[in-house]
Amino acid sequence: MHVNAQPTEIIFAFGPDDSGPLQPLIDAFNREHEGDIRVHRREMARASDAYYRQLVSDFEADAADMDVFGADIVWTAPLVRRGWVQNLSRRFYGAYDPDGFIEPALRSATYRSRTWGVPWYTDAGVLFYRRDLLAESGLSDPPSTWAELVSAAQTVQSEAGIEHGFVFQGDEYEGGWRTPWNTFGAQGGA
């Protein structure tokens, strides 16, 4: 680095950091690269569709002040087609081992055989279950298929006398296309 040179300033755009790990990561990065790179955070909208509209509006108005941004997996193709992201294939494969990533997450950042982003985290759904309610209903193992989940939920509902055998985030949004609200809708629910 040249004497008296200013660090490269990078604006990182991402939604609200409700659980708190984002700012400490940025702070650690800034400490590690002090004098060379300085990251500043721009908070974007919370909801995925509002965040995307905010990006589109900024890019269309040529007012996008961000250098790096977190993106939803379904945005890769439209962002590439509009010319709003750069092909990172050479940089990605020069810096990372693809086997170190969950393959579907890596595919989500790929479009037309090129890499346009780096998977950062996987927002995977998790099934929590009440072992005590399963045991009271004579079930020893948690369900491992959708059919078993429906059956176990119905059994627990009738045996334990509870109103709902299965609850979930069921808002209609693009990320919910494979969620149980879609799957169970055709089966009558549980």
- The count of other CB atoms within 10 Å of the CB of residue 92 is 19
121 pLDDT band (50/70/90 cuts)? confident
Q: Among residues 161, 58, 101, which one has the least CA distance to residue 69?
A: 58
Give residue-wise pLDDT tens across range 138-190.
999 999 898 999 999 999 999 988 898 888 777 665 555 443 433 333 333 33
Q: So what's the pLDDT on residue 54?
A: 95
Q: So what's the pLDDT on residue 83?
A: 96
Token look-up 């509006």 returns 57
Distance CA 78, CA 112 (A): 12
19 pLDDT band (50/70/90 cuts)? confident
Q: What percent of the chain has pLDDT over 90?
A: 66
Q: So what's the pLDDT on residue 3?
A: 57
Q: So what's the pLDDT on residue 127?
A: 81
